[in-house]
Structures are given as C-alpha cells and as structure tokens.
A and B are shown apart, each in its own frame.
Chain A
Amino acid sequence: MPLYDRYPDADVLAQRGHWDTATRQVVLDRVHNVPTYTYFDPQQRATLEALCARVMPQDHRPPEQQIPIGPWIDQRCASRASDGFRFDDMPASELAWIWGLEGLDQTAQALFGESATFRSLDLAKQDGVLELIRTGEPPGQIWRRMPAKRWWVFVAVRQITGIYYAHPYAWDEIGFGGPAYPRGYFALNFGAPEPWEARESAPQAHSAGSHHP
C-alpha cells in the first residue's frame, strides 16, 4: 500500500536560497553528488540494495525521487568512518557490513535452502530473515561471532534510516522545515508552520503511526 502523502506541497529544497552557504553546500551535495560504489563487490551491493529496500522501502516514490542509500554506506565503509565508538563484541563498522551482508545470505540459506540468497527471496521471506536477525536468533555461522541484534540496530537500521532522513525528500515526507539559518523560526506556538512551510493534509485521518498495532 503506498504511503499517504501527508505534505503534498512540501518542497524543502525550494527554500535553499534562504540557507547559509555552508549548509546549502552540504545539503545540495547530498542530493546531487551521490558517490559511486567502490567498497562492496557487485554481489554485496545487490544484497545491500535489497536490505535498504526493506528497511526504508521507496516504492511510494517515483524513481527520480528515490533517496540513494547504499552508495553512502559504501562511502562510509571505504573511508573507514567511525562514529566514535565500537562495541567490544563487534568488529569495525566497515567489516560489520561485510559480515552482516554475508549473514543475510547465510540465514536465507538456512531457512530456504542452499541456493537461496537474501536478495532473491520474495519480500515476505526477506522480512522473515530480518525478523530473526532483529530478534537476535538467526541461523548462520556469522551470527555466532557477531551479535545479530547489535548489528541490526547499530549498523543496519541506524545507518540506513540515518541516510534516509538526512535527505530533503524525506523531510518533505514528514513535514520537517529543514535548515533554518539565518532565517530562524517565528511561529513557535500551537505547532504552527511558518508561511513557507508545508501544510499538513488531513492530519487526523491518517494517524497510521501507532507503534503498537
């Protein structure tokens, strides 16, 4: 089911003339200068793209509005980027990715046979694999040397959602105003939008977001 368009008029990028130079450069670079894959091999790329499509599905967006995620993870890995800490039961992030992508296939094989790969499963079966990883008991030898729950939260979900919600198209989807310097905000009461911010359509009819169905 496609995602309901809560902010049909949103276009944060149209406000870029109001942003300071440094911020504009960072955000536009993110939109226009997507890196090319250098770290993962073609097989790993395909698995990573399949994973990203499950964690942050984008079938509700036209292709030209989809947010690239895999290439940014590749770039992080290639540059051995660190967030400032590493759990003592985890390898470095760039290695955790290699292991995790392999683990997705190992779990897929354990569940669906030797010839299965995560990327070739149908979506329901892919979710079955992810559910086992998320809850911490997936079959597969990789997951005996790397805790699956930790990988799921701190490597897969944090990085994938972090890249998604860093993008102006995602801001449009949730009605976030984006960069706000030097203009700032004036409408502080009653959750009101600024004149230049998107209006929400039918805010009550679509409170799909109960976390506990």
Chain B
Amino acid sequence: MKLHVHVASDWIIDTDMREYRPSDEVDFCIIGSGAGGGVLAQRLARFGFSVVVLEAGPWHDTELDMVSDEAGSGQLYWNDVRITGGTEPLEFGANNSGRGVGGSTIHYAGFCPRLHPSDFQVKSLDGVAADWPLSYADLEPYYAAMEREYPVSGPARYPWGKPHGYPYAPLQAGTAGQKLIEGCVSLGIGVVAGGPVAIPAGRFGKRPHCIMRGFCLLGCKVGAKSSTLVSHVPDAVEHGAEIRTRSMAYEVPIDAEGRATGVRYIRTLDNGRRAEAEQRARAVIVAGYAIESPRLLLNSRSNRFPTGLANSSGLVGRFLMAQAGPVVWGRFREPIRQYKAPPACACTEEFYETDPRNDFVRGYALQTVAPLPIAMAHLIAEEGGLYGTALLECMQDYNHYAAIGVLGEILPDERNFVSLHPTEKDQFGIPVPYAHFNLFGNDRRLMQAGMSRGRAVLEAAGATETHSVNRYAHLVGTCRMGFTPRDSVVDQWCRTWDVPNLLVCDGSVLPTQGSANPALTISALAARTADWLRRMAPNGELRTSARSAVGMHRS
C-alpha cells in the first residue's frame, strides 16, 4: 500500500509498503511498534522473515499531526479508559502510554541510561525483588548497538553502572539543566551534562539537528529526538515489514496443540468502519507495553488456557511496577525559562545503588525535567492546594522555576497487578484493564530520600524556595522474565514458557527496573531476542508443542 508520511522536518517516507493478506501465514506477527516492537520488526525484516506489525494507533505525520502545543497533543496517548485503583492509583494516558507508530517513544523525554550490572541481581545482592535470568554482560552489546542506532548523546565516559561512553557528543543543556549541574557541583555530587539522551548532537541521516524547542514530551516534529517512528520503523518498512495501523489486537487464538495461530484484531478503516480480521502467523510477539500486553493475554482464554494465555504461573499481569517520579522544583531570583532546550539534558546516578547508610535498598537518579505551563500549574496546584489568585501569582514566576525529576526504583510486588475489569468494556467491546498499585515501605522511604536530595540540590544551586509533588513514570513488570515456568511468564529470550511460538517483548518482561528510563533496555532486549530468533527459528525451535497448562495454576 502507498505510504506517504513525514517522520521528520524534511523526510517523507514515500513508498509502496509491502502488504500481506490476513490469510497469509507470515513468519512473525508483532503487536505494537514502540521500543520493543519497532526494533523487533526492523531486525526480523532485515533477517529476511515476513513480518506484520499490528499497531493500535495511526501513523503520526510529524508535519500534519504533531503540534508545538501542550494541550493539542492528546492524540499521541493511549486514551481508551483504564481503571486505576490501590493506595496509589496510577495515572495513565499522557503520563506513560502511547498509541500510534513509535508507541510511547513518540512522547518520551529521551533519557536513555542503561541499567547497572547490579540491577540484574537485586535478589542476590539485596535479598529483595528478583534476579534476572540474564546478566548485564548478556545485554551489554545490545545496549551499545541501540546507543548507536537511536542514537544516544552523552559524555565520552559515563561514570555510573559499568562505565561506558556514548557515540554522540553531549547535547547542549538549557538554563534549567545548568541549575541541576550547579547544585550537584556545589554539593560535590557527580553529575553529567548533555545526556544520555536520544537526541544526536548533530544531523543524523535524514534527521536534522535539534532546534532546542523543548517540546520533546509532545512528539518531535523535527525528527531529531529518536523514536522508533524515526529510528527503526522506516528501516523495517524498507526491508519488507508491513506496519498495519489502527489495528487493535484482542485475542491470540491457539490450535489443538496449544500453539498460537495468529492474532485477532479489529481494524478501523479510513471511512471509520470497523472490520474484524485474523492475521495468521507462525509466531506471535506481543509488544504492547505493561498494560496492553497482559490484557491481551488475559483476554485470550481457551479450554487449554482458561485463565489466559501463557498464564500457567498465574503471573500474567502481576508485579506491575511504575517508577517513582517525584518532581522537585525551586524558584530562582534569576530567570530560567525552563521550556527552552530538551527537558532531558543532565542527570546524576550517584544515589542509584544500595547504600547501607540508607533506611532503604536500591536507589534513585536525579534528572532534569521541564514542565510546560499546564504541567507546572498542575504541580503547583497539587502541592500547595493553591487555586485562584494565589495560583495565578505563583504561575507568574513560571520563568523562574527549575525542576528536577527523581527517578526512583520501586520494587516488584505481587500485590500490584493488571487484570481485566469484570464488567466494563472499551470502544471495541474488549474488557477494560484494571490496574492496582500500592506503595510499600521501601518505596516510600526511597522516594522521600530522593525528594529531599532533589531539594538540597536546588537549594545549593541558589533556589530561594523548593517544592515537591509525587509522580510516577514508566510501567513495567507484568509479564516477568525468570528462571522457571513457575516463577515467571517468559524465559530470558522473552519466549513464554507455555506457548513455544508466543513471545512477549516489551517493558512488561522486566523483573526489576532500576532507576533507568526503560526504553533503551526494552530495545536492547528486543534486539537480543531478534538475534535468538534468527538462530533458533530456522531450527524449528518455535515449532515444538505447547506445555500442558491445565492443572498447573497456583491457586
């Protein structure tokens, strides 16, 4: 089919995209085109496999559909309702979910740190959470590959975790970033400027320079900030993958042997009509992120898998994690104009690791954030309960605020979960997801420490007053990776233990999350899984029959 879409200021993908019929049995049907699905599609297409990606949202044409406006960008988010509960109910939508080619990489800030080696062995080192069934060394080459391919700007030597350098020079920081740097320097805290952020400091292929517009969270019209829309999907299309948009997957059907046969989905046509279809595939990869992936599996019930597909462990949907993301801001006498330059421009991971002097395990990072006016008004109103003239006056100081985001590790807990709402249905008639999220003691102490540290940094930079509000960012953990079919949903290659030709490859497989923004890790895992599939698929590894699931439920 004819594809004509801007993905950057002066880059139009204008091509005849390969198109498959739903009845064609393709090698891989991938659900989602974000940090996981976008990279998988590109890799698998390059390896010569036939690939169809089902993407629930549209192509976002950067020139026609994206706007340089905070309130006008709602179409970038997953706006279908999700019901949220628990002691700390999570906000979804704009906060942490995307809909459209590129997924939530379209509107992430672009911070792309790696996990630390310790993140892969939290259970061994700290006695809590879980170990990963792979090590940092297993993922390291894929981190390096993704840093070249996104690509990522940052210092030549990044001192935290396993020290490493970035392929592109640090990106210039704006004045708000300078305040984080000044505060850290004054307190003797190590800090880096200009990354790691997925905005190349310079032109990259058909992608122009960053224009320092500061609207990263509303989609990059320039095409400078990396998203899979601009980094991997164009290459996937060029190598024969089909990206089928406005196609909402709702069930993965299985055959008599318990193997996935394809994906059932509802496609919204150009005239608004909806059509149901089933794409046949030799293997299915679910990459819908931490709410939609478990939702799809839980909605794929059969006699063989009565509690949901690949759920013999009972763990599909369990261990939902958000990252702690409190925002701390200070008021400065001098002007800051924090809306200029990308929000992601400086950070410290000095407090990332477990420190026996703390009353909590694991840690947090401090990163620049730069709330635009609406986000800033919401923060101020929420913290002080301000409204009316008092709020208007505080907002007149908008140009004098600099903000820092605390990015903290929340530990996985089985009591935090995603399930299907028993009665409510979405616009397609699919059960609505319910997300349940509580904070526990370690999480609360860690967040408190992060907020105090953030305020101390801003004070050291000269803030005359500081403030903070709790927020959460990123969603991971609901189809966890592990060592055995009893302790997890997928193995280290992201293949489900129960169904040999079904994989989950997105943020939901992360057993722990560290204090690193998850996109790069998700893409690195996807690239590693793609390499495994390249080796194993031709050997018939995906053609074995399913494990019997009946009678294996935990409760």
- List residues of chain A with CB under 8 Å of any chain B CB: 1, 3-4, 6, 19-20, 22-23, 26-27, 30, 54-57, 60, 81-89, 92, 127, 130, 134-135, 153, 157-158, 161-166, 170-171, 173-177, 179-193, 200, 203-204, 206-212
Minimal Cβ-Cβ distance residue in A for B173:
A188
Query: A54–B339 contact, CB under 8 A?
Result: no
Residues of chain A lying within 8 A (CB to CB) of residue B65: 22
From the candidates A158, A173, A185, A192, name the one contacting B396 in the complex (CB within 8 A): A173
- A85 in complex: contacting residue of B63, B92, B221, B377, CB < 8 Å: B92
Interface 9-residue window, one of B18-26, B147-155, B309-317, B382-390: B382-390
Please tell me if B68 contacts chain A, counting CB pairs below 8 Å.
yes
Which residues does B use to contact A, with CB under 8 Å? 9, 63-72, 77-85, 89-94, 97, 172-175, 178, 211-215, 221-222, 331, 333-337, 339-341, 372-374, 376-378, 380-389, 391-400, 434, 464-465, 467
B374 lies within 8 A of A162 (CB): yes
Within 8 Å CB of B333, what residues of A? 203-204, 207
A10 CB to nearest B CB, Å: 11
Q: Are A88 and B394 in contact (CB under 8 A)?
A: no
**With A20-B68, A179-B69, A184-B211: A88-B89 Cβ-Cβ less than 8 Å:** yes
A54 to B391, CA, bound (A): 11
Chain B residue contacts of A185, Cβ below 8 A: 211-214, 340-341
- Residue contact A83 to B378, C-beta cutoff 8 Å: no
Residues from chain A with a CB closer than 8 A to the CB of B341 are 185, 188
Instruction: Point out the residues of chain A lying under 8 angstroms from B83, CB to CB.
Output: 85-88
The answer to whether A84 and B97 touch (CB under 8 A), given A20-B63, A203-B400, is yes
Q: Which residues of A contact B374 (CB under 8 A)?
A: 161-162, 165-166
30 contacting pairs across A/B (C-beta < 8 A): A3-B396, A26-B67, A27-B69, A56-B391, A82-B81, A82-B93, A83-B94, A84-B92, A85-B91, A88-B434, A127-B388, A161-B374, A164-B377, A165-B376, A165-B377, A175-B337, A176-B372, A176-B373, A180-B211, A182-B211, A185-B340, A185-B341, A188-B212, A188-B340, A188-B341, A189-B175, A191-B175, A191-B336, A192-B335, A210-B331
Nearest-neighbor residue (CB-CB) of A197 within chain B: B337
> Is A85 a contact of B81 with CB atoms below 8 Å?
yes
Is A22 within 8 A of B63, CB to CB? yes
B398 touches A57 (CB 8 A): no
Flag if B335 contacts A208 (CB, 8 Å): no
Chain A residues closer than 8 Å to B94, beta-carbon distance = 83-84
